[in-house]
Amino acid sequence: MNTVVTILRERFPDAILDVVEFRGEHTAVVEKARAVEIMRYCRDELGFDYLVDVSSLDHYGDEPRWELVYELYALGNGACHHLRIRYKLPEGEKADSVSSIWPTAGWHEREIYDMMGIEFEGLADHRRILMWEGYPYFPLRKDFPLAGRPSEMPDVAFTDRAPLAGGPFVTSPTTAATPHREPRSREME
């Protein structure tokens, strides 16, 4: 077993619910109430200084519905160690933000809110990051219809030419070399 996982099990015996090893990668399944404490320990004591990603899973139809997944790396001393931390979150509960541990987590947490509707306690900025403000749905939930939902947004890209069609950033389809595909080369013709 990985020494990091062994250390975590010794330090948090009641909070580490399970450890999964798959293809040399280790995942610690932790108790929600202690997740932030465990991740702070991972950063401060075990050297996991890089939060690669925070993602979420929708276990629609099961309770708890949500699962949060944190991908951590320790990049110090010329080595690279990976650890995945997961915990389950019941629908209607807020997750605790880890943006006080890794400031970049704010972007990941905003995206999770925007796409899944999971709110984060302690996150300073709750603006949507991909969908427009006021959009009432969460498109990555399993109960979101594949065909989408009605919207007040105009179908700009599907009703007429896209606003940038033929514009300064659109290359021309041709077999010519790159300089001839560049839009400004059309002006010289």
Assess whether pLDDT exceeds 60 at residue 85: yes
Q: What percent of the chain has pLDDT over 90?
A: 60
Q: Where in the chain is the domain with CATH 3.30.460.80?
A: 3-153
More confident of the two residues 13 and 144: 13
Please tell me the CATH code under which domain 3-153 is placed: 3.30.460.80
Separation between Cα atoms, residue 124 and residue 132, nearest integer Å: 18
Residue from 184, 51, 66 nearest 115 by CA: 66
pLDDT tens, 92-147?
A: 999 999 999 999 999 999 999 999 999 999 998 888 988 888 888 899 999 988 77
Assess whether pLDDT exceeds 70 at residue 189: no
Burial class of residue 114 (count of CB atoms within 10 Å of its CB; 0-12, 13-18, 19+)? buried
11-25, 62-76, 125-139, 170-184 — which is least confidently predicted?
Answer: 170-184
Q: What is the pLDDT of residue 9?
A: 95
Separation between Cα atoms, residue 172 and residue 96, nearest integer Å: 48
Q: What is the pLDDT of residue 3?
A: 87
